[in-house]
Each structure stands twice: as C-alpha cells, then as structure tokens.
Amino acid sequence: MNAKPSHALYPGSFDVLTNGHLDLMGRAVRIFDRVTIAVAHNPVKITGLFTIDERLEMLRDAVADMPGVDVQHFTTLTVDFARSIGASVIIRGLRAVSDFEYELQMAMANESLAPEVVTVFMAPSPANSFISSTTVREIAAFGGSVDAFVPPAVAARLYAKLKEKP
C-alpha cells in the first residue's frame, strides 16, 4: 500500500501575490505535511511586473509563519520540478469554471508526462474567488486600492513598482 502524499507543489507566476493565493496555500498546509510554493519562469510568457527575485521575497515574507512551507523557483517543466523535489501532488487553483478548461488540459498533459504526480484542484474561499493577479495589477495601475486583495507588504511594493514605470 502506498503512503498518502505528504509533499505538494503549488506552482505559479505569483505576479502579483494575492490573498487568493495565500488562501490556497493555507488550505494546502492543512492537507499536506510539506508544501513547496514555486515561482515558474515561463519563457513563453511576457516578462512580469515583478522580477523572479522580488516575487520570491514577497512569497517568503508572506508564508514565514506557515509551517512546512518553502519557496523556490524553477525553469523546467512543472512535473520535472515536482519529481526533483519529491512532490507527488501539484496544486492548482480554480476560481471559476472558466479556469477549468485550461487547468484540465495542463493536468492531462502533466499526467501523460508523469503519471506518478497527481494534480489536485482547489477552490479558494468565496471571498477570494474573484481575485486574480491581472485584476489586481489593473486596479492598482488605474489608481484604485488593492488593499483588500493582497497582503499589506505586497500592496506597498505594487504601488512603488507602478510609480517606477513610465
């Protein structure tokens, strides 16, 4: 009999880290002994607002009080990174039905590449179900308050970053 999975990987761009992300991280910590939060470097995607190092720093600050959580980044396929750290589960967040089709396609591709790594879909609490990094960036870019959607330290960094942009 196989042991229950004790190590999960929660990959993402986390550009901008939201309360929805933190909600899922908190849920994952209740289920798994160890959770690795990993910033993906995807060369296909356009460069984000924050650098990888800035995202890692914000994540480490935000999860400092969560036991069993570590923060890393990776530049490989997600399933290859999961295997390299010994994670047998990949956590993916679903905010709405619109997320499901893309996430299901990714889960099936990952399953074909690494059948021993299982994808688990998690939903955030209703209060965080509509929050996306894109929405947060847009609200902040137009001068709106994002204080209800991101940790205070992230909001401060976001406002400062946007002031730097021409």
DSSP assignment letter at 46: P
Q: Where are the domains of the chain?
A: 7-129
Tell me yes or no: is domain 7-129 CATH 3.20.10.10: no
pLDDT tens track for 82-140? 999 999 999 999 988 878 989 999 999 999 999 999 999 999 999 888 889 999 999 99
Confidence of residue 158 (pLDDT cuts 50, 70, 90): very high
Rg (CA), the chain: 16
Q: What is the percentage of the chain residues whose pLDDT exceeds 90?
A: 80
Q: Which residues are catalytic?
A: 21, 45, 95, 133
The answer to whether residue 43 scores a pLDDT higher than 90 is no
Provide the pLDDT for residue 97. Answer: 80
> How far, in Å, CA of 166 to CA of 34, rounded?
41
pLDDT tens for 46-57 read 678 999 999 999
Please give the C-alpha separations between residue 19 and each of 40, 63, 69, 109, in angstroms, as whole numbers.
19, 12, 16, 28
The region, left, alpha or beta by phi > 0 then psi within -120 to 50, assigned to residue 100 is alpha
